[in-house]
Amino acid sequence: MKKITISFALARFVFLSCLALALLISALVSNQVVNVLNSEQDKVLLREINQINDNYHIFLDNRLTLLKEHSNFPIMVQTLMQPESNKGKIYDFMAGLRILGKNYRMSLLDFEGQLIHSTNPVLDINYKNNPWVKWILNNEEIDEQSLTKTSVIKINDDYYFSIAVAIVYNNSIEGILTTEIPIQDINEGLNSDLRLQGISIEIIQNEQPLITFGEVTDGEQKSIFWPELNLSLRFTLDKSTINSTLHSLMIQISLIIIFAIFITSFLAYLYGYRYFVKPLLSLSNAAEELDKGEQYQALTEDSKIKELSSLFLQFNHMVDQVKKRETDLKNSYAKLTQANDELKLSESQLVQSEKMASIGVLAAGVAHEINNPIGYVKSNLEVLSDYVDTLKEYEESISQDPILIDNSNSQYNNRKQELIEKHDITYLFQDIFPLIKSTIGGIDRVDEIVQSLKVFAREEQPDKSLIDINEGLDATLKIVWNELKYNCEVHVNLAKLPMTLAYPSKLNQVFMNLLINAGQSIEDKGDIYIRSFVKDNKILIEIEDTGCGIAQDTLSQIFTPFYTSKPVGTGTGLGLSISHNIIKQHNGEISVISDLNKGSCFTVAIPLIESQPTIMA
Is residue 40's pLDDT more than 80? no
Q: Which CATH fold topology does 461-607 show?
A: Heat Shock Protein 90 (3.30.565)
DSSP 127: G
Confirm if 108 and 79 have CB atoms less than 8 A apart: yes
d(CA 600, CA 597): 9
pLDDT score of 328 more than 70: yes
pLDDT at 38 exceeding the cut of 80: no
Q: What is residue 163's DSSP assignment? A: E
Examine the pLDDT at 610 and tell me if it is beyond 80. no
| Under 8 Å between Cβ of 107 and 86 | no
Q: Which of 16, 102, 3 is nearest to 62 (CA)?
A: 102
The CA distance from 480 to 364, in Å, is 11
Helices 469-484 and 306-400 pack at an angle, to 10 degrees, of 60
Whole-angstrom Cα distance, residue 188 to residue 198?
18
Nearest to 583 by CA among 599, 563, 603: 603
526-535 and 488-494 strand pairing: parallel
What confidence category does residue 567 fall into, taking pLDDT thresholds of 50, 70 and 90? low
Prediction pTM value: 0.41
| pLDDT tops 80 at residue 612 | no
Distance, CA of 615 to CA of 617 (rounded, Å): 6
Instruction: Tell me what the mean pLDDT of segment 273-297 comes to.
Output: 72
Would you kindly state where each structural domain of the chain is located, as residue ranges?
33-237, 360-453, 461-607
pLDDT at 617 over 50: no
- What is the per-residue pLDDT across 58-106, written as a single tens digit (0 to 9) for each? 888 888 889 889 888 998 888 888 888 888 888 888 888 888 888 888 9
Of 73-77, 86-90, 313-317, 380-384, the range with the lowest mean pLDDT is 380-384
Three-class SS of 299-319 = CCCCCCCHHHHHHHHHHHHHH
Q: Quote the CA–CA distance of 110 and 77 in Å, as a whole number.
A: 10
Q: Is-same-fold flag (33-237; 461-607)?
A: no
In the structure, what pLDDT confidence band is assigned to residue 371 with cuts at 50, 70 and 90? low
How do residues 135-165 score in pLDDT, each as one tens digit?
777 766 666 666 788 888 888 888 889 898 8
Between CA 276 and CA 303 the distance in angstroms is 10
Give Cβ neighbours of residue 321 (< 8 Å, ≥ 6 apart): none
pLDDT of residue 601: 94
C-alpha to C-alpha distance for 275 and 258, rounded to whole angstroms: 25
Q: How far is CA 552 from CA 331, 528, 557, in A?
A: 47, 21, 10
Query: What pLDDT band is residue 615 in, cutting at 50, 70 and 90?
Result: very low
pLDDT digits (tens, 9 = 90+) for 580-594: 888 888 899 999 998
DSSP for residue 97: -
Residue-wise pLDDT for 472-504, tens only, equals 888 888 878 878 888 899 999 999 999 998 888
Q: What is the pLDDT of residue 534?
A: 92
> Average model confidence (pLDDT) for the chain?
78
Read off φ and ψ for residue 591, nearest 5 degrees: -135, 165
Task: State the SS3 of 402-444.
Answer: HHHHCCCCCCHHHHHHHHHHHHCHHHHHHHHHHHHHHHHHHHH
**Given the DSSP bridges, would you call strands 220-226 and 173-182 parallel, antiparallel or unpaired?**
unpaired
pLDDT in tens, 183-241: 888 877 555 554 556 678 888 888 888 888 877 567 778 888 988 888 888 888 776 66
**Cα–Cα distance, 518 to 484 (Å, whole number):** 9
Query: If you classify domain 33-237 with CATH, what class do you get?
Result: alpha beta
Confidence of residue 4 (pLDDT cuts 50, 70, 90): low
Count how many residues are written for the chain. Answer: 617
Which secondary structure element, helix H or strand E, spans residue 531, and what is its range?
Answer: strand 526-535
- Residues contacting residue 441 through CB under 8 Å, at least 6 positions apart: 373
Beta-carbon neighbour count of residue 429 at 10 Å? 11
